[in-house]
Amino acid sequence: MTVLITGGAGYIGSHCCVAFLQAGHDIVVVDNMSNASQVSLERVAAITGAKVSLETADIRDQSRMEEILKQYRCTAVVHFAGLKAVGESTKIPLAYYDNNVVGTHRLLSAMANCGVKQMIFSSSATVYGDPQFLPLTEDHPTSAVNPYGRTKLMIEEMLRDVAASDPSWRFGILRYFNPVGAHESGLVGEDPQGIPNNLMPFITQVADGRREELSVFGNDYDTPDGTGIRDYIHVIDLVEGHLRAHEVLGSGSAPSNCFAVNLGTGIGYSVLEMVKAFERASNRQIRYSIAPRREGDVAQCFANTEFAEKLLNWKAERGLEDMCRDTWNWVCKNPRGYETVA
Protein backbone atom coordinates (compact mmCIF):
# COMPACT_ATOMS: atom_id res chain seq x y z
CA MET A 1 0.00 0.00 0.00
CA THR A 2 2.64 2.50 -1.10
CA VAL A 3 1.80 5.98 -2.38
CA LEU A 4 3.99 7.34 -5.20
CA ILE A 5 4.58 11.10 -4.79
CA THR A 6 5.90 12.75 -7.96
CA GLY A 7 7.79 15.98 -7.36
CA GLY A 8 8.00 14.94 -3.72
CA ALA A 9 11.32 16.68 -3.05
CA GLY A 10 9.89 20.09 -3.95
CA TYR A 11 8.19 22.68 -1.75
CA ILE A 12 4.64 21.33 -1.51
CA GLY A 13 5.71 17.76 -2.24
CA SER A 14 8.09 17.57 0.74
CA HIS A 15 5.39 18.86 3.10
CA CYS A 16 3.00 16.30 1.61
CA CYS A 17 5.54 13.55 2.36
CA VAL A 18 5.51 14.61 6.03
CA ALA A 19 1.70 14.52 6.18
CA PHE A 20 1.39 11.11 4.52
CA LEU A 21 4.17 9.54 6.60
CA GLN A 22 2.70 10.89 9.83
CA ALA A 23 -0.66 9.42 8.81
CA GLY A 24 1.00 6.00 8.53
CA HIS A 25 1.37 5.68 4.75
CA ASP A 26 4.39 4.19 3.03
CA ILE A 27 5.67 6.49 0.28
CA VAL A 28 8.16 6.57 -2.57
CA VAL A 29 9.25 9.87 -4.10
CA VAL A 30 9.99 10.33 -7.79
CA ASP A 31 11.71 13.60 -8.64
CA ASN A 32 14.08 14.63 -11.43
CA MET A 33 15.61 17.15 -8.98
CA SER A 34 15.42 20.00 -11.49
CA ASN A 35 13.93 22.35 -8.86
CA ALA A 36 14.48 20.45 -5.63
CA SER A 37 17.08 19.33 -3.10
CA GLN A 38 17.68 15.89 -1.67
CA VAL A 39 18.21 17.64 1.67
CA SER A 40 14.46 18.28 1.84
CA LEU A 41 13.80 14.55 2.04
CA GLU A 42 16.53 14.08 4.67
CA ARG A 43 14.66 16.72 6.68
CA VAL A 44 11.34 14.91 6.09
CA ALA A 45 12.93 11.76 7.54
CA ALA A 46 14.19 13.78 10.53
CA ILE A 47 10.70 15.18 11.23
CA THR A 48 8.84 11.89 10.86
CA GLY A 49 11.41 9.32 11.93
CA ALA A 50 10.36 7.34 8.85
CA LYS A 51 12.30 6.11 5.85
CA VAL A 52 11.86 8.12 2.66
CA SER A 53 12.60 6.25 -0.57
CA LEU A 54 13.76 8.51 -3.42
CA GLU A 55 13.95 7.44 -7.05
CA THR A 56 15.65 10.10 -9.17
CA ALA A 57 13.67 9.78 -12.38
CA ASP A 58 11.56 11.77 -14.84
CA ILE A 59 7.84 11.13 -15.24
CA ARG A 60 8.31 11.33 -19.02
CA ASP A 61 10.29 8.06 -18.83
CA GLN A 62 7.32 5.69 -18.97
CA SER A 63 9.26 2.43 -18.68
CA ARG A 64 11.12 3.74 -15.61
CA MET A 65 7.83 4.80 -14.04
CA GLU A 66 6.42 1.31 -14.62
CA GLU A 67 9.48 -0.22 -12.94
CA ILE A 68 9.03 2.01 -9.88
CA LEU A 69 5.28 1.41 -9.60
CA LYS A 70 5.87 -2.35 -9.68
CA GLN A 71 8.96 -2.38 -7.45
CA TYR A 72 7.22 -0.50 -4.63
CA ARG A 73 3.81 -2.10 -5.23
CA CYS A 74 2.20 1.33 -5.45
CA THR A 75 -1.57 1.61 -5.10
CA ALA A 76 -2.00 5.37 -5.59
CA VAL A 77 -0.21 8.45 -6.93
CA VAL A 78 -0.04 12.05 -5.73
CA HIS A 79 1.15 14.06 -8.72
CA PHE A 80 3.06 17.32 -8.12
CA ALA A 81 5.81 17.03 -10.73
CA GLY A 82 5.77 19.80 -13.32
CA LEU A 83 7.04 23.22 -14.32
CA LYS A 84 5.16 25.97 -12.52
CA ALA A 85 6.19 29.55 -13.40
CA VAL A 86 3.56 31.56 -15.25
CA GLY A 87 6.03 34.07 -16.70
CA GLU A 88 8.51 31.42 -17.80
CA SER A 89 5.71 29.44 -19.47
CA THR A 90 5.11 32.30 -21.91
CA LYS A 91 8.79 32.19 -22.94
CA ILE A 92 9.27 28.41 -23.23
CA PRO A 93 5.77 27.00 -23.78
CA LEU A 94 6.97 23.81 -25.47
CA ALA A 95 8.94 22.86 -22.35
CA TYR A 96 5.77 23.32 -20.29
CA TYR A 97 3.61 21.20 -22.60
CA ASP A 98 6.35 18.55 -22.67
CA ASN A 99 6.97 18.38 -18.93
CA ASN A 100 3.41 18.85 -17.73
CA VAL A 101 1.08 17.42 -20.38
CA VAL A 102 3.30 14.79 -22.04
CA GLY A 103 4.74 13.87 -18.64
CA THR A 104 1.29 13.28 -17.14
CA HIS A 105 0.21 11.29 -20.21
CA ARG A 106 3.19 8.96 -19.78
CA LEU A 107 2.61 8.69 -16.03
CA LEU A 108 -1.03 7.74 -16.63
CA SER A 109 0.01 5.21 -19.26
CA ALA A 110 2.47 3.66 -16.82
CA MET A 111 -0.23 3.56 -14.13
CA ALA A 112 -2.67 1.90 -16.53
CA ASN A 113 -0.12 -0.77 -17.46
CA CYS A 114 0.50 -1.47 -13.75
CA GLY A 115 -3.14 -1.44 -12.66
CA VAL A 116 -2.68 1.65 -10.45
CA LYS A 117 -5.86 3.68 -10.90
CA GLN A 118 -5.94 6.35 -8.20
CA MET A 119 -4.38 9.81 -8.55
CA ILE A 120 -4.50 13.15 -6.80
CA PHE A 121 -3.49 15.88 -9.23
CA SER A 122 -1.95 19.19 -8.26
CA SER A 123 -3.93 21.72 -10.31
CA SER A 124 -4.28 25.46 -9.88
CA ALA A 125 -6.74 28.32 -9.66
CA THR A 126 -5.13 29.57 -12.88
CA VAL A 127 -7.57 27.28 -14.73
CA TYR A 128 -10.33 29.82 -13.95
CA GLY A 129 -8.66 32.59 -15.96
CA ASP A 130 -10.02 36.09 -15.28
CA PRO A 131 -12.68 35.72 -12.56
CA GLN A 132 -16.20 36.36 -13.82
CA PHE A 133 -17.47 36.30 -10.23
CA LEU A 134 -16.04 35.94 -6.72
CA PRO A 135 -15.54 33.91 -4.67
CA LEU A 136 -14.58 31.26 -7.24
CA THR A 137 -16.66 28.09 -7.14
CA GLU A 138 -15.65 24.85 -8.84
CA ASP A 139 -18.30 25.38 -11.54
CA HIS A 140 -16.81 28.74 -12.56
CA PRO A 141 -16.01 28.61 -16.31
CA THR A 142 -12.44 27.54 -17.06
CA SER A 143 -10.30 29.54 -19.48
CA ALA A 144 -6.59 29.66 -18.72
CA VAL A 145 -4.78 32.77 -19.94
CA ASN A 146 -1.17 31.50 -20.11
CA PRO A 147 0.64 28.31 -21.16
CA TYR A 148 1.15 27.16 -17.55
CA GLY A 149 -2.58 27.44 -16.83
CA ARG A 150 -3.43 25.75 -20.12
CA THR A 151 -1.21 22.76 -19.25
CA LYS A 152 -3.11 22.37 -15.97
CA LEU A 153 -6.43 22.63 -17.78
CA MET A 154 -5.38 20.12 -20.47
CA ILE A 155 -4.34 17.65 -17.78
CA GLU A 156 -7.66 18.12 -16.00
CA GLU A 157 -9.48 17.36 -19.27
CA MET A 158 -7.29 14.29 -19.82
CA LEU A 159 -8.15 12.98 -16.35
CA ARG A 160 -11.87 13.58 -16.92
CA ASP A 161 -11.70 11.70 -20.23
CA VAL A 162 -9.87 8.75 -18.67
CA ALA A 163 -12.35 8.65 -15.77
CA ALA A 164 -15.29 8.68 -18.19
CA SER A 165 -13.78 5.82 -20.20
CA ASP A 166 -13.35 3.47 -17.23
CA PRO A 167 -15.20 3.77 -13.88
CA SER A 168 -12.42 1.94 -12.01
CA TRP A 169 -10.21 5.05 -12.21
CA ARG A 170 -10.39 7.55 -9.32
CA PHE A 171 -9.11 11.12 -9.67
CA GLY A 172 -9.05 14.02 -7.25
CA ILE A 173 -8.18 17.34 -8.93
CA LEU A 174 -7.08 19.88 -6.32
CA ARG A 175 -7.10 23.50 -7.46
CA TYR A 176 -4.61 25.40 -5.29
CA PHE A 177 -4.78 29.07 -4.62
CA ASN A 178 -1.53 30.58 -3.22
CA PRO A 179 0.50 28.26 -0.97
CA VAL A 180 2.84 29.92 1.54
CA GLY A 181 4.40 29.09 4.90
CA ALA A 182 6.57 26.23 6.08
CA HIS A 183 6.60 23.33 8.52
CA GLU A 184 6.57 24.64 12.10
CA SER A 185 9.89 22.88 12.79
CA GLY A 186 11.64 25.12 10.27
CA LEU A 187 13.22 22.03 8.72
CA VAL A 188 11.36 22.14 5.39
CA GLY A 189 10.12 25.17 3.50
CA GLU A 190 10.13 27.00 0.18
CA ASP A 191 13.57 27.19 -1.43
CA PRO A 192 13.12 28.58 -4.96
CA GLN A 193 15.99 28.17 -7.39
CA GLY A 194 17.03 31.49 -8.95
CA ILE A 195 14.57 34.40 -9.04
CA PRO A 196 11.38 33.58 -7.10
CA ASN A 197 8.05 33.42 -8.93
CA ASN A 198 5.85 34.07 -5.92
CA LEU A 199 5.32 37.00 -3.56
CA MET A 200 6.34 35.44 -0.24
CA PRO A 201 9.92 34.43 -1.20
CA PHE A 202 10.46 37.94 -2.56
CA ILE A 203 9.29 39.42 0.74
CA THR A 204 11.58 37.11 2.73
CA GLN A 205 14.57 38.00 0.57
CA VAL A 206 13.99 41.69 1.30
CA ALA A 207 13.56 40.93 5.01
CA ASP A 208 16.86 39.05 5.23
CA GLY A 209 18.80 41.55 3.13
CA ARG A 210 19.26 39.56 -0.06
CA ARG A 211 17.18 42.08 -2.00
CA GLU A 212 16.95 45.83 -1.49
CA GLU A 213 13.24 46.16 -2.08
CA LEU A 214 10.08 44.47 -3.26
CA SER A 215 8.45 45.49 -6.53
CA VAL A 216 4.68 45.80 -6.07
CA PHE A 217 3.13 45.38 -9.48
CA GLY A 218 0.30 47.91 -9.65
CA ASN A 219 -1.42 50.00 -6.96
CA ASP A 220 -4.33 51.14 -9.08
CA TYR A 221 -6.53 48.04 -8.94
CA ASP A 222 -10.14 48.31 -7.78
CA THR A 223 -9.26 47.02 -4.31
CA PRO A 224 -9.20 48.77 -0.90
CA ASP A 225 -5.49 49.67 -1.06
CA GLY A 226 -5.08 49.42 -4.85
CA THR A 227 -2.88 46.29 -4.81
CA GLY A 228 -3.84 42.82 -6.01
CA ILE A 229 -5.72 40.47 -3.67
CA ARG A 230 -5.02 36.74 -3.48
CA ASP A 231 -6.09 33.78 -1.38
CA TYR A 232 -2.99 32.64 0.52
CA ILE A 233 -3.11 29.20 2.13
CA HIS A 234 -0.66 27.70 4.61
CA VAL A 235 1.17 24.78 2.99
CA ILE A 236 0.35 22.55 6.00
CA ASP A 237 -3.38 23.15 5.51
CA LEU A 238 -2.89 22.47 1.81
CA VAL A 239 -1.22 19.08 2.28
CA GLU A 240 -3.80 18.08 4.89
CA GLY A 241 -6.33 18.65 2.11
CA HIS A 242 -4.36 16.16 -0.03
CA LEU A 243 -4.47 13.60 2.74
CA ARG A 244 -8.24 13.99 3.08
CA ALA A 245 -8.67 13.72 -0.71
CA HIS A 246 -6.58 10.54 -0.72
CA GLU A 247 -8.79 9.07 2.01
CA VAL A 248 -12.00 10.06 0.21
CA LEU A 249 -10.78 8.52 -3.06
CA GLY A 250 -9.71 5.33 -1.31
CA SER A 251 -13.02 4.94 0.51
CA GLY A 252 -15.07 5.36 -2.66
CA SER A 253 -17.23 7.99 -0.93
CA ALA A 254 -16.69 10.68 -3.58
CA PRO A 255 -19.76 11.69 -5.63
CA SER A 256 -17.97 10.71 -8.85
CA ASN A 257 -14.74 9.00 -9.91
CA CYS A 258 -13.26 12.37 -10.91
CA PHE A 259 -13.84 15.49 -8.83
CA ALA A 260 -12.29 18.97 -8.80
CA VAL A 261 -12.13 20.93 -5.56
CA ASN A 262 -10.70 24.28 -4.47
CA LEU A 263 -8.03 24.38 -1.78
CA GLY A 264 -7.95 27.91 -0.39
CA THR A 265 -9.06 29.80 2.71
CA GLY A 266 -11.81 31.86 1.13
CA ILE A 267 -10.10 35.02 2.45
CA GLY A 268 -8.25 37.44 0.20
CA TYR A 269 -5.27 39.53 1.32
CA SER A 270 -3.67 42.34 -0.67
CA VAL A 271 0.04 42.59 -1.43
CA LEU A 272 0.42 45.43 1.06
CA GLU A 273 -1.47 43.50 3.75
CA MET A 274 1.01 40.64 3.23
CA VAL A 275 3.92 43.06 3.52
CA LYS A 276 2.58 44.54 6.79
CA ALA A 277 1.86 41.08 8.26
CA PHE A 278 5.40 39.94 7.43
CA GLU A 279 6.86 43.08 8.99
CA ARG A 280 5.05 42.19 12.22
CA ALA A 281 6.23 38.56 12.11
CA SER A 282 9.86 39.38 11.32
CA ASN A 283 10.21 42.71 13.09
CA ARG A 284 11.93 43.92 9.91
CA GLN A 285 10.98 46.71 7.54
CA ILE A 286 10.04 45.50 4.05
CA ARG A 287 11.02 48.22 1.61
CA TYR A 288 8.94 48.29 -1.56
CA SER A 289 8.35 50.39 -4.64
CA ILE A 290 5.37 50.53 -6.95
CA ALA A 291 5.93 49.11 -10.44
CA PRO A 292 3.57 48.91 -13.44
CA ARG A 293 0.98 46.16 -13.51
CA ARG A 294 2.11 42.82 -14.94
CA GLU A 295 0.28 41.60 -18.00
CA GLY A 296 -2.21 38.88 -17.12
CA ASP A 297 -2.53 39.76 -13.42
CA VAL A 298 -6.10 40.04 -12.14
CA ALA A 299 -7.27 42.41 -9.41
CA GLN A 300 -8.72 39.78 -7.08
CA CYS A 301 -8.81 35.99 -6.80
CA PHE A 302 -10.10 33.98 -3.85
CA ALA A 303 -11.88 30.67 -3.33
CA ASN A 304 -15.29 29.52 -2.31
CA THR A 305 -14.39 26.65 0.04
CA GLU A 306 -17.83 25.16 0.72
CA PHE A 307 -17.39 22.14 -1.55
CA ALA A 308 -14.05 21.24 0.06
CA GLU A 309 -15.66 21.43 3.50
CA LYS A 310 -18.52 19.20 2.40
CA LEU A 311 -16.62 16.66 0.27
CA LEU A 312 -13.35 16.40 2.18
CA ASN A 313 -14.51 17.45 5.65
CA TRP A 314 -11.55 19.82 5.45
CA LYS A 315 -11.05 23.49 6.14
CA ALA A 316 -7.93 25.64 6.34
CA GLU A 317 -7.15 26.31 10.00
CA ARG A 318 -4.08 28.56 9.86
CA GLY A 319 -4.27 32.32 9.45
CA LEU A 320 -2.04 35.00 7.98
CA GLU A 321 0.01 35.41 11.19
CA ASP A 322 0.77 31.66 11.20
CA MET A 323 1.82 31.78 7.54
CA CYS A 324 4.23 34.68 8.12
CA ARG A 325 5.60 33.34 11.43
CA ASP A 326 6.37 29.89 10.01
CA THR A 327 7.91 31.37 6.86
CA TRP A 328 10.20 33.63 8.90
CA ASN A 329 11.17 30.74 11.17
CA TRP A 330 12.20 28.72 8.09
CA VAL A 331 14.20 31.64 6.66
CA CYS A 332 15.99 32.34 9.96
CA LYS A 333 17.00 28.70 10.33
CA ASN A 334 17.90 28.30 6.64
CA PRO A 335 19.21 31.65 5.35
CA ARG A 336 20.46 30.05 2.14
CA GLY A 337 17.69 27.48 1.88
CA TYR A 338 18.81 23.88 1.74
CA GLU A 339 22.40 24.97 1.10
CA THR A 340 22.51 25.83 4.81
CA VAL A 341 24.06 23.03 6.83
CA ALA A 342 21.52 21.83 9.40
Distance (Å, rounded) from C-alpha 299 to C-alpha 281? 26
Region 141-167: what's the mean pLDDT? 96
Distance (Å, rounded) from C-alpha 247 to C-alpha 76? 11
Q: Number of folded domains in the chain?
A: 2
DSSP class of 45 = H
- Rounded to the nearest 5°, which phi and psi values hold at 254? -70, 150
Q: Is residue 252 part of a domain?
A: yes
141 upstream amide cis, omega within 30 of 0? no
The DSSP line for 227-239 is S-EE-EEEHHHHH
Give the domain CATH number at 315.
3.90.25.10
0.95 cut: is pTM over it?
yes
- What is the reported pLDDT for 87? 83
Q: Is residue 188 part of a domain?
A: no
Q: Is residue 331 part of a domain?
A: yes
- What is the reported pLDDT for 51? 87
Give the domain CATH number at 107.
3.40.50.720
pLDDT band at 81 (very low <50, low <70, confident <90, very high): very high
C-alpha triplet 313, 314, 316: angle, nearest 5°: 160
Q: Which residues are marked as active site?
A: 148
Residue 27 sits in the same domain as residue 80: yes
Q: Is residue 225 part of a domain?
A: yes
pLDDT > 70 in the chain, percent: 99
**Mean residue pLDDT across the chain:** 96
- What is the reported pLDDT for 86? 84
- What is the reported pLDDT for 175? 98
Closest C-alpha to 111, from 77, 78, 79, 148: 77
Residue 151 sits in the same domain as residue 203: no
Region 210-237: what's the mean pLDDT? 96
Judged against a pLDDT cut of 60, whether residue 342 lies above it is answered with: no
- What is the reported pLDDT for 340? 61
Judged against a pLDDT cut of 80, whether residue 324 lies above it is answered with: yes
Core vs surface per residue 256-293: b (16+ CB within 10 A) or e: ebbbbbbbbbbbbbbbbbbbbbbeebbebebebeeeee
Residue 251 sits in the same domain as residue 284: no
Residue 254 sits in the same domain as residue 275: no
Judged against a pLDDT cut of 70, whether residue 216 lies above it is answered with: yes
Q: Is residue 319 part of a domain?
A: yes
Question: Between these two residues, 192 and 216, which has the higher pLDDT value?
Answer: 216
Distance (Å, rounded) from C-alpha 164 to C-alpha 21? 32
Residue 127 sits in the same domain as residue 60: yes
Residue 172 sits in the same domain as residue 206: no
- What is the reported pLDDT for 164? 98
Region 26-54: what's the mean pLDDT? 96
CB-count burial class (<10 Å; 0-12, 13-18, 19+) for 139 = exposed
Reported as a single tens digit per residue, the pLDDT across 121-135 is 999 999 999 999 999
The whole domain housing 333 covers 199-230+267-339
Q: Is residue 191 part of a domain?
A: no
Residue 237 sits in the same domain as residue 307: no
Residue 296 sits in the same domain as residue 332: yes
Q: Is residue 194 part of a domain?
A: no
- What is the reported pLDDT for 330? 97
Region 262-290: what's the mean pLDDT? 98
Region 1-11: what's the mean pLDDT? 96
Residue 123 sits in the same domain as residue 216: no
pLDDT > 90 in the chain, percent: 91
Residue 143 sits in the same domain as residue 40: yes
- What is the reported pLDDT for 197? 79
